[in-house]
Structure 1
């Protein structure tokens, strides 16, 4: 599953002690009714609602793509990094690629995304501080939407029951990961873990 993305619990399993529920935020009044369906960060595969996770991932991707399109509509077009590098290398002084990259990052749409990421924009998360938005949104919308759908549950690096880890990305990854999750025994425990060094 995508890091730190809670998974809806199937309605028939609400309150099941086998699910790993997020702790309430400090200061939350006791007995406060939840807003929306119950969610968890793991549990037996049979009690999780993967279709809801996939639908949410597609909605979030569509909203992100819409936010990018709104942003670029009010700025001069952003050029891909490869064009900047080629233009600088072809120049009389053979500008180093570091300067070409700096110029690429100074483009108004790229700067606008970075400012929004720092400000906590709900669409452009902090990952966009290290992700090139021009390259990210150059992908075909339908293909990128399909990637969001196919990796919604599996996330970026699933660890299988036999201890193997497969990094996300690459051709066929989404289908492989989705297939692994769909064919797990309903009692097999799936847990979303965010790891960092």
Structure 2
């Protein structure tokens, strides 16, 4: 099975090879890679519980640099969509986003309203001489909530950079965006041979919808490429 998968991936990837031979009439495409391997590299799929030993699962044996890999049974680089647990990473990401959102809101409520960095940059760009760059940076960093946050490294790790910009608005939308980002990688190569760079909420949503719409027996594989 693995040989068939490698052959199929190779055929699908071929049009995007930097070193391909271009024949007359070939479609013009953007080249993206010069060598690749099956390798999730931190983006491996969790396996549906109870199917860890299914022979249809795909696990690359070596990294792109040739180093041997040893994936735990609960993870794989691909296989039939029905064997891949696509929902657990999404649920975990949504739960983490909710925790960060609610924790920041509760923490910030104890201080004067905190402005996002964009607020100060807008002032700077509107009047660069009257409100210089260093003043914008200083005013942003010295807001009481952010001063207090800097003394709480665990909380800072949870809420991330510029929480006043990211952890606001609709909680549900924030959780959906986090869930959509849980499975995405920089690019999607579809069954129809379309290479789609993945960036931004709309593309992330499409990535998830595309995976979800595949038939249960469709083989999904993580590929790491050098480009």
TM range (shorter): 0.5 to 0.7
Change (3 A) 1:89 1:120: closer
1:11 matched residue in structure 2: 49
Pair 1:160 & 2:189 matched: yes
Task: Go from structure 1 to structure 2 and tell me whether the alpha carbon gap of 1:183 and 1:54 turns closer, same or farther (over 3 Å shift).
Answer: same
Structure 1, gaps ≥5 residues long: 25-33
Partner Cα separation in structure 2 for residue 139 and residue 20 of structure 1:
40
Aligned-pair CA distance for 1:190: 2.8
**Higher RCO (CA 8 Å, separation ≥ 6 residues):** 1
> Counterparts of 2:44 and 2:149 in 1: how far apart (Å)?
26
Whole-angstrom distance in 2 between the partners of 1:160 and 1:78: 42
TM normalised by structure 2 equals 0.59
User: Who wins on radius of gyration, i.e. which is larger?
Assistant: 2
1:53-68 equivalent positions in 2, closer than 5 A: 53-68=89-104
**Conserved in 1, the CA contact under 8 Å of 2:101 and 2:168?**
no
Q: CA RMSD in A?
A: 3.8
Quickly say closer, same or farther: Cα 1:120–1:73, change in 2 above 3 A: closer
Over 3 Å counting, the alpha-carbon distance change for 1:145 and 1:98 in structure 2 is same
Gaps of 5+ in 2: 1-39, 61-68
TM-score, normalising length from structure 1?
0.66
Aligned residue pairs total 175
Alignment of 1:42 with 2:77, yes or no, is yes
Contact 1:57/1:152 (8 A) holds in 2: yes
